Structure 1
């Protein structure tokens, strides 16, 4: 029941991109606001998630892990739904997205760390549990993105009500998760703590940079897929929302299979998944079929959600302190990449002298393929 309660929280972790299909409608509602800032509504939660990650230890020391998670869920429930009942100011809308990220950040590291600690001495089950966590992130993305896609037909603002799901997770945590404080760990936990060596820190940061680049490109696809469909007159915002849902569906499948996938591929998983992700993005631009693009999005989600738990599993093996440091590196790399994705889009447009969504998709796919080849060549360094 502890694992189920933690997995219910995981359903919310990947919820920020769910409203990306709203961007065209929000641009129309706030014509005086730069489209770059509207794009940041999807990614700015990731920056504040990083801030929340660093605040977690301070709050955890005072109120314990359980109530830190509950605090984060309350913030998500209140400020995530704020745009549904107040839309008069873009500043308030932007602020609500910042606080949404902060709330998720308060429980994101604890969520992964607590799931990892349940199976720290059982590598295989640990990989399965982290895969399930990733699967639930994908499932949450599916549910919220599809819900947003349907609610946007009524009004873009009402779609933000999906963040009210945080209350359901709060109930599960309140009932099934015991409270723990850092100064009340038992002897067995103390024995399993291992200090993080300088070599491991350096290597973790370098691998974190690779993850940062992958996420930067992955989120850029999320931002460009709806404009691509509209640009080529083959779909609308609802279709774009369905593409994001397909990514989440692929992520859900990958998470459920991760334990088996990792067992067979191990360190080869990263380059293979990065290359498949790049190819699936590149192929998106070659077809005018909604079904084909939907399949490409599904494959992209499958590939990407093998990459994330790969890093989580690699970085959290070795005790409490190692898991804490590794989780922090992964979350910072992921969320900085997600936050800066709109600026990556601008950089691609600047250097290619082409602002079309089609151009963005082609270059994003090729760059991911390049990362796949680089990680293949330096494969023996892809673990810590």
Structure 2
């Protein structure tokens, strides 16, 4: 791929960045639930939430399955075309069918949509890993794809809100824009050179990779605590929903800037990038817990800083973990590792609810809501120490390897 002409390379990059833009958009249709309820009067409100829930399940299954199959039983280009077709056709299906769509058929189309969407992550991260050999350039692209991810979540919700003013079915027009990366994928995507060799090898993911994946799970769990409980805490402090929305937006701003800055941060911190990110996670919990423990109601700026740091740090991990996997996992297993990355990321977010529920059963249901942030701070500090130890080890290994190469 090093000798690839510039136009082809840019075409591939455009396609995978657009794919990552669409990954967080499966939930934008939640804005249509109230309008959708009028079309399905016999379906309960809780049952309507399956419109997004089935996508989550299908995504995780598809990410693991695609990770195992891509590059071995299934070519990267073939997998990309199939996944984009599923995303575009199944995603836009409710709009194309109009009022005659049964709820069961809607769920089936959403399941197919989720299967297509789930394959995006292993394709995007694996493509960046093999497309960019230079470590610093690869780091920059890992950050860039998370900028597109954050923008997708924000822009997708805005567009969905506008389209829903026409009808709930019109919201699904958004997914028809999947035709854009599909065209670029068909025209420009070139199969990785290592695929033929990878087909002969067994998938071997080193233990170090599972350490990175577990670390991602923990950070996603902690990050989700912020989303799950901040509205309750700020409401109790007397803030309006508009103010809460503004505070939560600080997370998105931090995530976008984190993606932009990741490449530069990696160039400076190298093996210690995850340690620095873990410090930010700890600081965010310290700030949010401190602000929520104060009797003062004039701490919005402090809450904003805490959420900004949380968003910035989370992207340091969603860009940094694939970067670490790309450096530790053999080429034959890179797609499988990236599939697991997506699964661990989503499972970590899911675990925040049962872990939070268990925590309050232990400390008491009448405990102050913000004690969950104190718990998060303790966990974050513990993992900050662990990550410092492993980062120091990795830095020493990298230094020794560099000295060996220089001595040859």
TM-score for both structures, normalised by structure 1: 0.76
Residue 207 of structure 1 corresponds to which residue in structure 2? 212
Counterpart of 2:125 in structure 1 is: 112
The counterpart of 1:284, out of the listed 275, 281, 288, is 288
CA contact (8 A) 2:284 2:310 kept: yes
Indicate whether 1:137 and 2:149 are aligned: yes
Alpha-carbon distance between aligned partners in 2 of 1:365 and 1:151, rounded to the nearest angstrom:
40
CA change 1:59–1:310 in 2 (3 A) is closer
User: 1:346 aligns to what?
Assistant: 357
Q: Distance in 2 between matches of 1:89 and 1:292?
A: 48
1:336 corresponds to which residue? 347
Of stretches 63-72 and 146-155 in structure 1, the one that deviates more from structure 2 is: 146-155
- Gaps (5+ residues) in structure 1? none
Secondary structure (helix, strand or coil) at the match of 2:262 reads helix
CA drift at 1:282 = 4.2
Deviation at 1:278, TM superposition (A): 3.2
Distance 1:110 1:293, change over 3 A: same
Taking a change above 3 Å as real, the CA distance of residues 192 and 363 of structure 1, as seen in their structure-2 partners, is same
Matched, 1:70 2:74: no
Residue by residue over 1:119-177, the C-alpha shift from the partner in whole angstroms, topping out at 9 and shown as x without a partner, is: 13x21211122221222212222322444577789999976665454344334334433
Q: 2:324 matched to 1:320?
A: no
Q: Which moved more, 1:159-168 or 1:295-304?
A: 159-168
RMSD: 4.3
Q: Give, in whole Å, the separation in 2 of the partners of 1:296 and 1:130.
A: 24
Residues 354-365 of structure 1: pairs in structure 2 closer than 5 A? 354=365, 358-365=370-377
For residue 258 of structure 2, give the secondary structure of its aligned residue in structure 1. Answer: helix
**Structure 1 counterpart of 2:313:** 303
Q: Distance in 2 between matches of 1:374 and 1:16?
A: 34
Do 1:20 and 1:222's aligned partners in 2 also have CA atoms closer than 8 Å? Answer: no
Report what 2:4 is aligned to.
none
Asked if 2 retains the 8 angstrom alpha-carbon contact of 1:128 and 1:259, the reply is yes
Q: Aligned to 1:14, what secondary structure does the other structure show?
A: helix
In 2: Cα distance, 1:377 partner to 1:93 partner: 49
Q: In the superposition, relative to structure 1, how do residues 118 and 73 fare at CA in structure 2: closer, same or farther (>3 Å)?
A: same
Cα gap change, 1:115/1:371 in structure 2, threshold over 3 Å: closer, same or farther? same
Partner of 1:173: 185
3-state SS, counterpart of residue 226 of structure 2? helix
Q: State the shift of 1:368 in Å.
A: 2.6
Partner of 1:3 in structure 2?
A: 13
Report how far residue 24 of structure 1 moved.
11
User: Could you tell me whether the CA contact under 8 Å between 1:14 and 1:141 is conserved in 2?
Assistant: yes
Task: Give a deviation string over 1:52-104, Cα, whole Å, max 9, x none.
Answer: 12332547767632342233234334555678878x99988876665544222
Larger Cα-atom Rg: 2
* Inter-CA distance 72–325: structure 2 relative to 1 (3 Å threshold): closer
Alpha-carbon distance in 2 for matches of 1:366, 1:351 = 16
Offset of 1:113 from its aligned partner? 0.6
Shift of 1:372: 2.0
Residue correspondences, number: 373
Moved more, 135-144 or 57-66: 57-66
**CA 1:166 to 1:123, structure 2 compared with 1: closer, same or farther past 3 Å?**
same
Q: What are the superposed Cα offsets for residues 250-305 of structure 1, whole Å, 9 maximum, x if unpaired? A: 22222222122112212222122123123224423515455543443222111111
Unaligned 5+ segments in structure 2 are 1-9, 398-408
* Equivalent pair of 1:16/1:42 in contact (CA under 8 Å): yes
TM-score relative to the length of structure 2: 0.72
Q: Retained in 1: the 8 A contact 2:258–2:316?
A: yes
Alignment counterpart, residue 14 of structure 1, candidates 1, 24, 47: 24
When residues 129 and 189 of structure 1 are mapped into structure 2, their CA distance, relative to the original with a 3 A threshold, is: same
